[in-house]
Structures are given as structure tokens and as C-alpha cells.
Amino acid sequence: MSDTQSVNDVDRPDSIQVSVVRNRLDHITKEMGQTMLRTARSPIFSEARDFVTAIFDSRGNKIAQTSYIPILVDATPWAMVEFQKAFGDNLVDGDIYMLNDPYQGNNHGPDITIAKPVFVAGEHLYWSVSKAHMIDIGGRGVVGYNPLAETVRDEGMHFGPTKIYEAGRINDGLWSLFRNNLTMPDIVEADFQSMIGAVNVGDRLLKGLTEKVGRERIYSIIDEVLRSSEATIRDAIRVLKDGVYEGESVADNDGLSQRPVRFHVKMTIEGDSILFDLSGSDDQVGGYINSPLCNTASAISLAMYMCLDPDTPHSDSGVSAPITVTAREGCVANPLPPAPVVLCTTAGVEAIVEAATQALAQAMDDRVPAGWSRMFIPNTAGYNPQTGRMYGEMHTIVRGGSGGTPTADGYDTLGSVVSLGGMRATDPEMFELSTPFLLHEYAYVRDSGGAGINRGGLGITADFEVLAPELRSVVWGAGSLSETAAQGRAGGRNAEPNRHVILGTDGSEHFLRPNEFVSIKKGDHFIVNAGGGGGWGNPRERDPEAVRVDVEAGVVSINAARDLYRVAINRDLTINNLATQALRGNDVPV
Amino acid sequence: MRLRIDGAAQPDQSTGTRPQWVPVNRRRKELSVEYRLGIDVGGTFTDLYLVDEEGRGEIYKTPSTPHAPAKGFFNGINEIAEAKGQSIEEFLGSVTHIMHGTTITTNATLTGNGAKTAFVTTAGFRDVQLMRRGVKTGNQYDYTVPSPAPLVPRQDIYEVIERTNQYGEQIISLDVEHARSIAMKMKLVEPAYEAVAINLMWSFMNPKHEEQLVEVFADLLPGVYVSISSTVVPQIRMYERGSTVALNAYVGPILSRYLTDLDARLAAVNFTGRLFIVQSNGGVMPPQMMMRFAVNTLLSGPAGGPEAGLHHARQHGLDHLITMDMGGTSFDVAMIENGRVTTTNDSEIQGHRVALPVLDIHTIGAGGGSIARVRSGLLQVGPQSAGSEPGPASYGRGGEDPTTTDADLVLGYLDPAGFAAGKFPLDLAAAQKVMREKVADPLGLSVPEAAQGVYRVVNASMADAVRAITVQRGLDPREFAIIAAGGAGPLHAGPIARELEAPLVIIPRESSVFCASGMAISDIRHDYVRSFPRALDSGSVEEANSILQEMTKRGRQTLLEEDVEEANHRFSVSADVRYIGQFNEVEVKVDSTTIAVDGLTDGFNNRHASLYGFSVPGSPVEVMNLRVQAVGVESKPSPTETPYAGSQPTAAAERGTRKAWFDSKEYDTPVYDGLALRHGNYISGPAIVEQPTTTIVVPIDYVLGCDARDNYVMHRADVTLDEAIALVHTNPSSSALASKDTL
């Protein structure tokens, strides 16, 4: 029997058909994502892949998802609750809804969720969903980032659940209102179209799948898919040691003050379920790092999945069933409106993930990687005299390394943990083609990876010279302090923090702290140093040959080899065994 | 192993569009038979396909000799000569063309055994290649594995002082003295460098510095293979270009040594015909040029397949095809639209990007060796593979996991004693045992039910792979005929066609040497690319057209140097286009040798709509790259038909029955000898057709026939062949599928 052909009996579906349909649903979300990847105008879509595609059933279950950026792994269900509440009784084929209000089912404003109810033979069965980071939603920031925001209203336009297409027709008035509030309306409109393209592709493919499998069977198949995912994750949790574990980390600042912002995670494992409680975090703050619960929960999921067996499913509601995330209202992990929030998806997530992995490491010390370098990058925007057009850029080439793990060195210049290596750096020539900068250097930094048995990935340095008369810039993120540099684990060393400076044409040096506005002029040089990842395990136990190879490649210095790894390297790049033995002492085999 | 196909002939070319067979080497006109020979050296077998000018084909297979590939090449030729009772010189005297597909460069790359290579780049950009644009390959959540090793390690990457900007202006002149000191430093490295790859910022806008460096290295490092990015792939994106030129240098010396040796050995046996090498784009190139563009062979393994598929389908007037080649570990799918094999400029090997046109062959890890396992009550098949060592449990080499092949055996599709013409018996009991332990018991199913489950799941993933390359382009798989090949392809083609509602499956009789048969009839192909990052307007179009003319001229000269008469030249022009500000381009083919603003814009809007479900007419577009493909059309065999032999197979074709499972029931299934089926013979499913190197499963409600070239056609029983062909033509067209939503 072909698996997407209809059959007559409506008994419990056989496991083979369930397997086939699950693969098919997964495939549909990928085809939706492909549409967005290939058509977007903003680099945030096509290069940073900051979006997610998902399918929900009409009962509100997430049944498939591809999260191109892992931090959106658990961010979609919250919006669906709001859509269901607002329109659930009155859905029409051809409607498309959108929202981006952080206090109504969202993480932060630049991420817009759109959802199309999918009808098969007149019956509402699914939602085809896409959520993506828009380069501009208005507001006074640079490419969406405004570190001086005092409320969410300073961060741009926010829609609660809104009907943007009614029975296949766009609400022109609403759309032009939105456009009129944007600096880069054309790019946003094109990206929005690519999202519409994606949900339409999903709609079409879901109709086809249902017609073949049969309406009368599809829900019982979905139930089996969810049951299977839930069973897998419960098995994975059951092997963890029961108990209460805690972890804590800070973000550098909230933009308005220089005070670090503390996130605290208390994790309770009981049998096959886990409770994460972030109530011990700081009270909500004035600046833009407050993390709505939607974002907090997604950060916790991300931390979990990077520590569990990599094959663990993470794309449907079955997986989230045994995991509860809670935080008291009014704390930085569950703020009340109108606190500003834009930085939560990066600096907020990074602090939460660090805190959560500290807790997880106590329950499963053999799998948890060392810390990753945090994101601290410039956004720039303005008139580009080379193209004669306005531009806006997130400088994604500025990115540090990932942490060493119990079995492997970290990855070099992989970027923030929020993207788990899914964010592609802009090619240097493409960077010069689309922005008014000349790149003078773009290279690894020696000794930037935290020392360990398994070394942290390398960070980079870049030097770009401003070619436009004047540009607006916001440098945003975290990781400029020693406590927010990538942390070592299991005896591994921390990496160096991120350090950025602007060299003026007059020889002035402006050392940048995260989350400030800066104005840059023709001839200025932006010099950025993104730190490496943390090391895993005591560096004195690293294989001396691995240290030698690193020295030969020029990514570890002879001095660091001697002082941190306790390996003596001769000038001809061979290992001095006697000296190494002396350095390491007798307790460590060479 | 020799399998003569008596009376098999090659199908027609679409009439009038291709020249008839013309002997290329007129000196041999007096000889009665002239052949072209396709030689496909694969990992396990070297496939040979010999075809005469009337399209009669012969299949030969000989074990490959991976450590000395030329040996397997000549073993195969010797075997043919012996079979013909000739000396190798006599036999080669009747061969006008040898079309050779080699995986020597592929293997060197996959095993990390390329040439010792130095990489030279602009100061400040040493690490661009190592960074790979900072993307994690594989499972994003899996940090247990280290990042992949670089092709050229950091200590072999050198920086020269120079800088060209995006307008091609040399804002820092090349410091030649410094470059010479670098070259002197390289001389001291042990073991010595065999190759140097050079990639400078914006070199495609102004290649002067790269060309100066060639002089420096040629002077100071004589004998070293030097390759520059502005020649190999003059297009924008420093990483992609650098990765391509690094690969070219990495495999260039290896391919050069191999081809020089092969050429000498062929000369030693008085071969006076012409040797051509198969490229990743499906065309062929003479050895001399191939040595300079060695990177073009990296993905040439499956490249003969689509051409072969097209050849067979044209006899039925079909040019919308999906070719499926299923072997032991992988399932390769390619698409042919309007007689054109789709290509991509976006491929990779071992994580290294290749930014040159290659046939767009989509590969998934589904093959005979794919492992089935149960996780939380759901069955998964692949992508893990048991390979050939230990292989499926039924191979009896210690494999302990149930695989697709084991399922095929349990279901009765494969004959345990007759597998691989009886040379390689399969262990049914072993297959049943692992199927019970690893699939049936965990799922609470019987062993045959479990095997059917594996069969269904792997078929569905293959169907998804086909959807991936059709639906993603806004096309409907129902518009395509399926060409099924490879050792395992015909076992699974029926259910896949049913799943996709594809009306017709064609299984070439030389299915098992599918690629070699395509190679034998390949055309010469050269791809030219030039980056031209400019908005599309009347001014830029003029400039673009003069660049296109220049590229066309180069193509024409090259083809003439290769002795291709001008009458056989074909040029096709395309441009990579995007809406201003987009980050990805769409390749738009144009019907003329020049481009025009309106034509290219319309073509782009249409293509964008069919690919992605929307377009933005009126929005300005920009060009990134200009492309010219120069084709030297090679003469093709002219067809003969085999005589009609009636619908009833002769008794000689009947091999009795075997118990096999179809749609949850066991049938006494008739088994036929494929080689004894004749033109016009038809059989009804459920049935099994056996050939020495492949087995065809005919599902219930399907029929299988033998066409005028002795290929097999399979379609639903309730339609005739003509109706099935008509269905391919009349199914909903692509444009109707794409929803064109605009704001």
C-alpha cells in the first residue's frame, strides 16, 4: 500500500504510515523554508537564516517545524495561542494573520509571525506558519536595535493578532500604514512576500498530503507522531539524575545603565519531567534586555537540545510536554509591559543558556559543552554612495568561537549560541559590494580559543574602513566583560572577551561598550575582536601533538603552549619531550 | 563479466535537431564497424558500454583497480578485444571515441589524498577559506564531532601584499619582491608542494595581480601545478571562488599524471581515435584542457546518467524526465526539463564548495545498504548505511542490521541463489533474523510486515527526494517520466512512481551501466562564467553583450581547436539575476546569444514565480554573473528498431514463480528472464523480471512492456503505453501550480 494513498479502515494507523507522514510533514516545513531562503532581500533572512517554518494542527499542536535559527525552536506556539484566541471562531480560507507584539505571543518586535489557516474540503485542519526577523519595524534604532529604548514603543511598531489578508486579499490600508513607518519599506515588503510565499507553499502541500492520506486518518496519525516524540524525550530525561540544580549568568548591561543583568535558573528533575524556574533572576530592568516568557522558554529548549542526544526530536508539541518553564511576573525572564525587549533574543538568551547549561552539567556532566563567545556586533545604516541607495547591515562577519566539548574542539568563528552555527557570515566581497566599507583584515586571532583538553573555537579580528561621509551605528550585544566571555568547563579556561574600538582619522581611539549609539565618519576604522569559545577540560591534559599542530598552524603561541598547556615546543616546531614532562609533572602522562 | 544484448539498439534522436552519425576519423572509413566506447571507472566496478553507429550496444563489467585505475581501464578493453577474438590494437583500431568517466579526483578528495597544495591570497584574508563562512555542517545540535578538516591547512596558506577593489582598481600594487620571497620560502617546505592555488580579493574584476603571481611561481617553483581563480572561476564571492581554485590545485597534479599516463598507454597500443574525459556538467572535454580544469571532474561520477535517460526517453517523444539511480549507499535523482538537464552552481564535495556548473543531482542516503531501525515506536530507514562491508545482513559478512536489501530479499523480490547472476548468494535466514529482532519484534509486526514497512519507508523517502527537486522548482512530478537505473533502482521504481503518480517508468536495459552508456554519447561542453555585478539597464546590457560575445568567441576557438566543425557548435547564454538587494541569484537562460533588458527581466520574473511562488514585476533587477555554455555536438548513433514479437512473452522468458509480498499479501509471483523479453511483450503485475545485474519489481495494477529498443516501460494497467505518454504531456503544467501572490 502506498503510504499517502487513501485506505478504508480508520483504525489506529500503522507505525509505518506514521513514520512516512512524519517525514513528509518535516519535509513540507523545509520546502517552506527553502522558499524564504532563496527569495529574501535582507541578509538577516538569507544569510543569518533568522527564521522558522512550522505546521500546527487546528487543535493547537505543533506537528512539524524547521528552525533555521535554533533560538526560535520553541517560539511559535505562543503566537498560535493568540491567533486562536482572536480569530479561532471565524477563520476563513485565504486569511493570513500576523503579530509581533512581545506581550502578545512573541519574543521581540522584529520577529514577525504570520499564520495561514489551511482548509481541506472546507474544513480547517492546519496552520501554515512562518516567523522571521525583519530588518526594520520602525522605531529609532539602527536595523531594529535601539539601546536607549525606555519602553517597547521606542522599539518600533507592534501588532497584536492582526488579519493582514482577508480571504486572499491583502488589507492595503494596514499594510501602507506599516510601510509608512519604516526606513527600508521595500526590503521589508520583499521579505514579507517571501514569508507569504512560504505559507502558501505550506498550504498547497498540506492540502495534497491530506487528500492522499485521507482526512479521517490524519489526526490519528498526528497523535501517534506526538506520542512518539514525547516518549523519546521522556526516555532522555529519565536517565538524568533526579534533583534540584542551579545555574546563573549575567549579560553585560541593558543599554540604559552599566549594571550587569542577572539570570538565574533553578532546574528540578523528577522522573521523566523537568521544571525550569527562572524566578530567581533580577527584577525586570529599564533597558532592552527583558526577556518575555516566550523567549525565555525557547532559550531553555535550546540549552536542553544542545546537551541531549543530537538525534532527539525537537520539532513538535510532543517534545515540549515534559518540559515546564516558569518565571515570576515582573522579573527579567518574564517582564510586564511596556518594558523594552529587543536584546533578549541574543544577549538574554546567551545568559539564560549559560545558566541552564551550568545546571544541566550537574545532572549530565559528560555531554555539556563549554561556553560560546557572545554576540557583540555593529549594526550600521545610512546612504551608501557606491550604490546610490540606503542600506542597513548587521555585521555578521563579527563572530566568535564555540565552546570545546567533551569529545571535540570548538568550532571557529561559528557565532552566537543562539544560531548554533546556522548563521552564515557574509562573504567579504559581497560585504564590500553591499555596504560602504573597505575591509582591510578579516582573520583568526591567535590564542583566542579558551585552553582545554578540547580547545575553544577561534575568534576573529576584522578592520573595516568607512567609505561613506557619515553613518549611524549601534554596537549591541554582550561578552565584553571577563564574566561574560566564553566560560570554560570541567577545568577548561575562559576565552578572552570581545573588544571593539573605533580609530578616528585624527588618531582618536573610542573603545566601545556593548549597547551604545556611535556616529562614524569617512576614514574611521572599525576594529573588532570577537572572542573565542571556552575550553573544555584541563589544558594540561591536552594531547601534546594537538598542541603542536595548533602552534604550527599559528593559532596557539609557543608561550601559550608552555604556560597554559604545559607543552614545550621547539623553534623547529617539534615537541621537546623532556621539557614537556618537566612542565606537566609526573602525574600527567605525556 | 560480459553481457551481450542481442539486437539492442539505441533510440532515435529528436528528428532533425542532431546530425546523423558521421565517422569522425575518415581514415578508417573502409572499416566495416566503428565504435564509441564509454568507460565509467567506479569504486567497485569499471563499466564499459560499446556502441556501434547503428546503436547496437554491448555491456561489459570488470572489477575496478582503485590503486591503479588505468589497469582496470585496460582490463576492460582487453576483455572486449578477447570477446571479439581480436588483439587490443585491432579492436582499438575500430574505436573512434573513448569517453572516459573517472573518479580519481573524487576519491583523492574524499580520502584527503590530494596533492600537497599551497594557497596564496591577499594579505589580511588568510583565514577566509578556513572559516567556510562560519557555518556548521551536519546536525546543528551535534557538537560531539569536530569540524571538518580544511583542504589546505593554515600553515600552507600564504599572504601577498596587494589589493584590488570592487571596481578592479589596484589600490595596493602587488609587491613582487615580497611575493618572490614567499616563493623562496615555499621551496624549503618538506614534503615539497606539488600545486599552488591563487585567489586574490576581487581578482575576477582585474586578474593582473594573479597573472603576475603565475610568473613568479612558474619562475621559482618550476614543475609545480599553478592555478589562479580568475581563470578557473572568475566570479564574485571570495570563499566560493577560493574553495573552487583550491580544489582545482589539489586534484590537478593527480589528474594530470593519470591522463598523461593513460594517453601514453593508449598511444602504445596504436589508439588513433580520440579520448575525452567526462565532466561534472555531463559534457566531455579533451584531456589537455581537463588537466587545467581538473575540478570539473570532481562530481562527474553520476554525470553520464541524465544524458542516457534523455537518449532513451526521446524515442517516446519525451523530454520531461526524472532520472533515478539507486545503488548500494545512495539514491541520485536528476531532472530534465524540456530536454535540458538542470545544473547548479551551488554544489560541494566533502564540505568544500564547488562554484562551477555541475549537473543538479540530488543525492540522499537511501540505497540497498541503508539501515532500518526503530526509535520510540517509529521506523527509520537510513541515512546510515551498512555499505558493502559488512553490508546487509544477508551478505553474510557480519552485518547485524537489517537493510533495504534485506527487506527486498525477505519480501521475495530478490532470489537468494540468483543474486548477481548467481555469483553472490544471499543468506535469507540471516535477513529474516535481523528483521525480526530489530524491526518486527519492537513494532509488534510479523517479519514480512516489517520488511514491507522498510520497503515503504525507504520508497517514501526516495519519493520525497524527487519532490524536493520538482516541487521546489514549482513543478509537478506527474509531468515527468521516470527513468530508473542502478542495481537497486528498478526494485523500487514502481512504488515510487505510484507514490508520485508519475505515469510512466522507463528502465533502460543497460540500467546497470547507465552512466557508461550516457558517456558514450556525450557532447563536448565548455562552461564560461564572468562576474558582472551590475544593475540591468540599457547601458549595462551593451557591456554585458560584448562580454558574452567575447566568451562565445573563446568557446568557438576552443571547439575549433578540438576539431569540432562550426556546424556542430551550439552556444547557450544565461545570466544569474536577482532583484536588487536580494542575496541569491536565479540562473535565467535566454534563447539568443545576447541578452536584452525586457527579455531577461521577464524571464527572471517568470522563473522566480515558478520557483518561489511569487514575483515582483516592475521591481528593478541586477545581474551577478554571465554564462556561456559552448557545446560541440558529437555525432550520435542512428537507431534501428527490433522486430515486433507480439504481446505474449515466449516460454523461454518464463522462469516459473516465486512467493513474494505485494500490498500485504503473499502471491505466487511469476518471474521472467529479462534478456528473453522481446519488443512488444507485456507482462502484468505482480511480477518480477530478472536480469543478471538488476531485478525489476512490477507492482499490482501495473504492467511492464518491452519497447522497440528493448528497453522496459512500466505503467498502470488501466492505461496503454500511448495513454501513459499522453498523461506525461497533459498533466498540469508548472505555471498552474505556482501561486503568484503579489502584494
Q: Which whole number is the average pLDDT over A378-397?
A: 90
Between A24 and A355, the higher pLDDT residue: A355
C-alpha dihedral sign at B562, B566, B569, B574? positive
Residue of A nearest to B664 (CA): A1
Give the confidence band of B729 by pLDDT, cuts at 50, 70, 90: confident
Residues of B in contact with A170 (CB under 8 A): 743
> What pLDDT is stored for residue A11 in this prediction?
57
> What pLDDT is stored for residue B741 in this prediction?
31
The answer on pLDDT for B8 being more than 70 is no
According to the per-residue pLDDT averaged within each range, which of A204-213, B187-196, B459-468, B529-538 is highest? B187-196
- Residue A117: partners with Cβ closer than 8 Å, 6 or more residues away: A58, A91, A92, A93, A95, A124, A126, A127
Between A190 and A42, the higher pLDDT residue: A190
Cβ pair B140:A421 closer than 8 A? yes
Residue of B nearest to A44 (CA): B583
Q: Identify which of A35, A41, A443 has the shortest CB distance to residue B582.
A: A41
pLDDT digits (tens, 9 = 90+) for B206-233: 999 999 999 999 999 999 999 999 999 9
Residue from A488, A486, A476, A552 nearest A517 by CA? A476
Q: Is B487 exposed, middle or buried (0-12, 13-18, 19+ CB in 10 A)?
A: buried
Query: What is the C-alpha to C-alpha distance for residues B559 and B568, in angstroms, rounded to an integer?
Result: 9
> What pLDDT is stored for residue A465 in this prediction?
97
Q: Which whole number is the average pLDDT over B421-432?
A: 86
> What pLDDT is stored for residue B11 in this prediction?
32
The answer on pLDDT for A49 being more than 70 is yes
Cβ pair B126:A443 closer than 8 A? yes
What's the longest Cα–Cα distance across chain A?
Answer: 81
Cβ pair B136:A428 closer than 8 A? no
Q: Identify which of B143, B377, B443 has the shortest CB distance to residue A408.
A: B143
Q: Name the minimum distance, in Å, from the CA of B303 to any CA of chain A.
A: 25
Cβ pair A232:B376 closer than 8 A? yes
pLDDT digits (tens, 9 = 90+) for A460-484: 999 999 999 999 999 999 999 999 9
Cβ pair B134:A423 closer than 8 A? yes
**In a mutagenesis test of the B interface, which of A39, A357, A552 is the best target, namely the one with the most B β-carbons within 10 Å?**
A39
Give the confidence band of A154 by pLDDT, cuts at 50, 70, 90: very high
ipTM, two decimals, is 0.91
> What pLDDT is stored for residue B14 in this prediction?
32
Residues of B in contact with A235 (CB under 8 A): 376
Size of interface A-B (CB pairs under 8 A): 239
Give the confidence band of B709 by pLDDT, cuts at 50, 70, 90: confident
Q: Which whole number is the average pLDDT over B537-550?
A: 93
Cβ pair A433:B533 closer than 8 A? yes
Per-residue b or e along B86-98, where b marks 16 or more CB atoms closer than 10 Å to that residue's CB: eebeebbbbbbbb
Q: What is the mean pLDDT of chain B?
A: 86
Q: Identify which of B124, B141, B533 has the shortest CB distance to residue A441.
A: B124
Residues of A in contact with B379 (CB under 8 A): 15-16, 19
Q: Which whole number is the average pLDDT over A486-505?
A: 96
Residues of B in contact with A433 (CB under 8 A): 166, 236, 533
pLDDT digits (tens, 9 = 90+) for A547-561: 999 999 999 999 999
pLDDT digits (tens, 9 = 90+) for B90-106: 999 999 999 999 988 98
Q: Is B376 exposed, middle or buried (0-12, 13-18, 19+ CB in 10 A)?
A: middle
Q: Identify which of B126, B133, B664 has the shortest CB distance to residue A424.
A: B133
Residue type, B152: V
Cβ pair A232:B375 closer than 8 A? yes
Q: Identify which of B236, B443, B471 has the shortest CB distance to residue A15.
A: B443
The answer on pLDDT for B3 being more than 50 is no
Cβ pair A424:B134 closer than 8 A? yes
Cβ pair A1:B456 closer than 8 A? yes
The answer on pLDDT for B18 being more than 70 is no
Residues of A in contact with B380 (CB under 8 A): 19
The answer on pLDDT for B391 being more than 90 is no
Cell numbers at A329, concatenated: 511576573
The answer on pLDDT for A45 being more than 80 is no
**In a mutagenesis test of the B interface, which of A429, A430, A435, A574 is the best target, namely the one with the most B β-carbons within 10 Å?**
A429
> What pLDDT is stored for residue B24 in this prediction?
39
Residue from A168, A327, A308, A228 nearest A21 by CA? A228
Q: Which whole number is the average pLDDT over B5-20?
A: 32
Give the confidence band of B4 by pLDDT, cuts at 50, 70, 90: very low
Task: Find out whether A465 and A438 touch, Cβ atoms under 8 Å.
Answer: yes
Query: What is the C-alpha to C-alpha distance for residues A99 and A101, in angstroms, rounded to an integer?
Result: 6
> What pLDDT is stored for residue B54 in this prediction?
79
Q: What is the mean pLDDT of chain A?
A: 92
Least confident of A362-371, A493-502, B56-65, B372-381: B56-65
Residues of A in contact with B472 (CB under 8 A): 31, 34
Q: Identify which of B166, B378, B582 has the shortest CB distance to residue A19.
A: B378
> What pLDDT is stored for residue A289 in this prediction?
97
Residues of B in contact with A15 (CB under 8 A): 377-379, 443, 445, 453
pLDDT digits (tens, 9 = 90+) for B657-691: 999 999 889 999 999 999 899 999 999 989 999 98
Per-residue b or e along B105-127, where b marks 16 or more CB atoms closer than 10 Å to that residue's CB: bbbbbeeeebbbbbbbbbbbbbb
Residue of B nearest to A42 (CA): B582
> What pLDDT is stored for residue B58 in this prediction?
85
Cβ pair B144:A442 closer than 8 A? no
Residues of A in contact with B142 (CB under 8 A): 310
Q: Identify which of B126, B619, B741 has the shortest CB distance to residue A197.
A: B741
According to the per-residue pLDDT averaged within each range, which of B57-71, B498-512, B583-597, B620-634 is highest? B620-634
Query: What is the C-alpha to C-alpha distance for residues B248 and B119, in angstroms, rounded to an integer?
Result: 11
pLDDT digits (tens, 9 = 90+) for A392-434: 888 989 999 999 999 999 999 999 999 988 888 989 999 999 8
Query: What is the C-alpha to C-alpha distance for residues B128 and B117, in angstroms, rounded to an integer?
Result: 16
Residue B308 φ/ψ region, left for φ over 0, alpha for ψ in the -120 to 50 degree band, beta for the rest? alpha
Q: Identify which of B134, B154, B378 has the shortest CB distance to residue A553.
A: B154
Cβ pair A190:B582 closer than 8 A? yes
The answer on pLDDT for B1 being more than 50 is no
Residue of A nearest to B149 (CA): A411
Residue of A nearest to B578 (CA): A39
Cβ pair B461:A23 closer than 8 A? yes
Cell numbers at A140, concatenated: 529609532
The answer on pLDDT for B325 being more than 90 is no
Cβ pair B146:A408 closer than 8 A? yes
> pTM value?
0.87
> What pLDDT is stored for residue B26 in this prediction?
37
Q: Identify which of B147, B464, B613 has the shortest CB distance to residue A35.
A: B613
Helix-helix angle B597-612:B538-561, to 10 degrees: 90
Query: What is the C-alpha to C-alpha distance for residues B57 and B207, in angstroms, rounded to an integer?
Result: 47
> What pLDDT is stored for residue B614 in this prediction?
67
Q: Name the minimum distance, in Å, from the CA of A387 to any CA of chain B.
A: 10
Least confident of A496-510, B13-27, B594-608: B13-27
> What pLDDT is stored for residue B19 in this prediction?
32
**In a mutagenesis test of the B interface, which of A5, A11, A20, A423 is the best target, namely the one with the most B β-carbons within 10 Å?**
A20
Cβ pair A428:B238 closer than 8 A? yes
Strands B331-337 and B586-590, sheet pairing: unpaired
Q: Name the minimum distance, in Å, from the CA of B724 to any CA of chain A.
A: 20
pLDDT digits (tens, 9 = 90+) for A574-586: 999 999 999 998 6
**In a mutagenesis test of the B interface, which of A21, A30, A38, A209 is the best target, namely the one with the most B β-carbons within 10 Å?**
A38
> What pLDDT is stored for residue B730 in this prediction?
61
How far, in Å, are A49, A190, B675 from residue A36 at the CA level? 9, 10, 49
Q: Which whole number is the average pLDDT over B488-502?
A: 90
Residues in chain A: 590
Per-residue b or e along B626-657, where b marks 16 or more CB atoms closer than 10 Å to that residue's CB: bbbbbbbbbbbbebebbeeeeeebeeebebee
- Residue A272: partners with Cβ closer than 8 Å, 6 or more residues away: A234, A235, A237, A238, A322
Q: Which whole number is the average pLDDT over B417-424?
A: 74
Cβ pair A408:B127 closer than 8 A? no
> What pLDDT is stored for residue B388 in this prediction?
66
Give the confidence band of B639 by pLDDT, cuts at 50, 70, 90: low
Strands B331-337 and B340-341, sheet pairing: antiparallel
The answer on pLDDT for A212 being more than 70 is yes
Cβ pair A46:B584 closer than 8 A? yes
Residues of B in contact with A420 (CB under 8 A): 136, 140-141
Residues of B in contact with A399 (CB under 8 A): 134
